[in-house]
Amino acid sequence: MMELAGVRRDIALACRVLAFHGLAADVLGHVSVRAGTGRMLIRCRGPRESGLLFTTPEDVHLVDLDGPYDALPGGYAVPSELPIHAETLRHRPDVTAVVHAHPPAVVAADLAGLRLRPIVGAFNIPAMRLAAGGIPVYPRGVLIRRTDLAKEMLSAMGPAPVCVLRGHGVTTTGATIAQAVVRALNLEALARITLDAAQAGAAQAGGAVPPDMPAADIAELPDLGSTLNEESVWRHHLARLAHAGLSL
């Protein structure tokens, strides 16, 4: 129980980090973590819902991947898009944590026809590597409320760790909560650079498009490892929450 209590707290903090950075502006979005065989801990909505920025561990509930979902205590209800989490955890044994968020720059870049490509290097190495691996897009702007829709999303996503949901948001995954959250933040950072570069290019004659990073430059970039890429970044974002008076 103590272990689950710690995971509940981490999920609540993850929701706060996503909201603090504008990836979950109000009550939309959720984070889940695998909790043994056939179960997950997931951020749910209660009768006094006030948005992801104010998520508490009490908002996180243990549910079976197969349901039922209508017997949560305290008037809580699972998110309508729970199939995103249940089907990802069911079909991706490599995944421990799932984030669904609505990052505005990612959505805007995709709607503008701008693929998230590896156009930056040392500026954000993890974002470059995500883009170099290919960032798939699920081309339907629907609420993923049913298993069949979640399976469509997973088919589009393939083995990738992230997926853009057109006109909707993103699904990101990770071996840890920190990894799934930081991947979502890195996608949004890359999308902002992509939009800025496209706007600057459109102001020039011919509308210059930034090229992908040369393969030789990509090869020069080190693998900084999870400690620097995710764990340190996660601690940084927790410190920013605390500085803003939003920690738990």
**Catalytic status, residue 81:** yes
Sheet holding 137-138, edge to edge: 60-64, 39-43, 30-34, 97-101, 169-174, 162-165, 137-138
The string of DSSP codes covering 181-227 is HHHHHHHHHHHHHHHHHHHHHHTSTT---PPPPPHHHHHHS---HHI
Distance CA 63, CA 68 (A): 8
* Catalytic annotation, pick one of 81, 87, 188, 230: 81
The tokens 């959250």 sit on which residue? 181
Beta bridge partners of 63: 40
Identify the H or E element spanning 63: strand 60-64
Q: Which residues are catalytic?
A: 81
